[in-house]
Copies of this chain bind each other. A is one copy, B any other.
């Protein structure tokens, strides 16, 4: 099928940077948190190559924020994640899975601590606003939960540091990974975090007044011209190489963080109350039944699948599903994420992937570095 069009409407909320993204040639979009998110400018391959060498401005306003503020803010944030948020300093960001009482993943946001009793939950694609509001209401907690007027603009790529130093000052080079400062750009106040959805380095600029979106974009753009800036977006090739999971594609409410390899971001048993304590303790005791793996697939470049492909063992039995895939120029190979029965999740395990029709391909489980 030829790629269908996306119809815009008010329900797919306009971003403060959208006009510039379209002017710069956004050719294809997805929808994320009820907002458009550009997916391709030139081609995925050209966008990727440019990102790895230069610097890009990304309209990621769709990374919506859920603000949690008030006396019970910390207690509510602690309640929804197994990660120990009491260890997150003001000025710091924690990647932390949000899980329900069964350990199922509701979202995998970045939690930004703006104050002792004030957080932004910078979310992937599910309505964490409703989740947190519902729990707070049900518990009768003394906390306010709402979506503030905050829209991130990402500046990603190896030249992002020079660009941001020119724009804001040399002190931005001192911001540690997953920390932030509060500053002003283009006359509007922003939270400037060293973070972003690529492995190429960079920043996320949290705009706090959507009427200033084009001013912010233009300021970044102007500073970026000498660094060969282009508009860009989260890139499938790059995210596979870097090993970034996408909520909804690689993990859902049916998966728990221990199965998805997110256990390295927290230690079970933090002091605070959290709703998935018993469920994850049970998984840890019994051992995971399935496991997300990095799966390298032999042969020529593949694209797809629309939803999932079956992964099989050497008896031809289905032992898992492939959830994301891209051909990597760097590794000269098809890289994929798959969820497989735990028995087949060891590095070096040989598997087969049904790639549609009668075709199948040999594949091997790799480590996080695709080795």
Contact = CB atoms under 8 A, between A and B. Distances in A.
Contact of A5 (B6, B9, B22, B305): B6
Given A6-B31, A131-B134, 11 more contacts: A6-B29, A9-B249, A10-B324, A11-B125, A13-B307, A100-B133, A101-B137, A106-B130, A127-B127, A128-B130, A137-B275
Interface in A21-36: 22, 26-31, 34
The 6 A-B residue pairs whose C-beta atoms are closest, nearest first, are: A138-B138, A134-B134, A11-B248, A127-B127, A31-B31, A6-B6
Given A6-B29, A27-B5, A307-B10, A127 B131 contact: yes
Interface residues of A, number: 53
A302 interface: no
A358 interface: no
Nearest to A324: B10
Given A137-B135, A138-B135, A26 B4 contact: yes
Interface in A12-56: 12-14, 22, 26-31, 34, 39-40
A132 B137 CA distance: 11
A38 B131 CA distance: 28
A7 B130 contact: no
A358 to B, nearest CB: 18
Contacts of A308: 10
A217 to B, nearest CB: 17
A144 to B, nearest CB: 11
Interface of A: 1, 3-14, 22, 26-31, 34, 39-40, 100-101, 106, 125-128, 130-140, 246-250, 275, 305-308, 323-324
Contact of A29 (B5, B14, B133): B5
A335 to B, nearest CB: 15
A29 B4 contact: yes
A248 B10 contact: yes
A40 B247 CA distance: 28
A125 B28 CA distance: 22
A11 B135 CA distance: 25
